[in-house]
Amino acid sequence: MARVCYVCGKRPSTGNNVSHANNKTKRRWLPNLQTVKIQTNDGERMRVRVCTSCISAGKVKKAPATAAKA
């Protein structure tokens, strides 16, 4: 599964670690993705990876919890 947000498409970005001696090595910044169950417009439940900024902004509608079967 790719490290890409289902809603906004946010993906890893790249850059350099820079030491005190100005040595540069490659590094990656990963988005803070969480796996959530969402409800689509037609009522279907899906499990997708969404970044926390989209979750806190309310861009996804979480699926309601189902009752446990006894």
User: Is residue 67 over pLDDT 80?
Assistant: no
CA distance 58 to 8: 12
Give the per-residue pLDDT at 70.
59
Do the beta carbons of residue 31 and residue 49 sit within 8 Å?
Answer: no
Q: Where are the domains of the chain?
A: 1-63
pLDDT value of position 43: 86
pLDDT, position 3? 95
Confidence at 68, pLDDT banded by 50, 70, 90: low
Please, what CATH class does the domain formed by 1-63 belong to? mainly beta
pLDDT tens column, 18-61: 999 999 999 999 999 999 999 988 889 999 999 999 999 999 99
Residue 69 has pLDDT above 70, yes or no: no
Answer yes or no: are the C-beta atoms of 56 and 32 closer than 8 Å. no
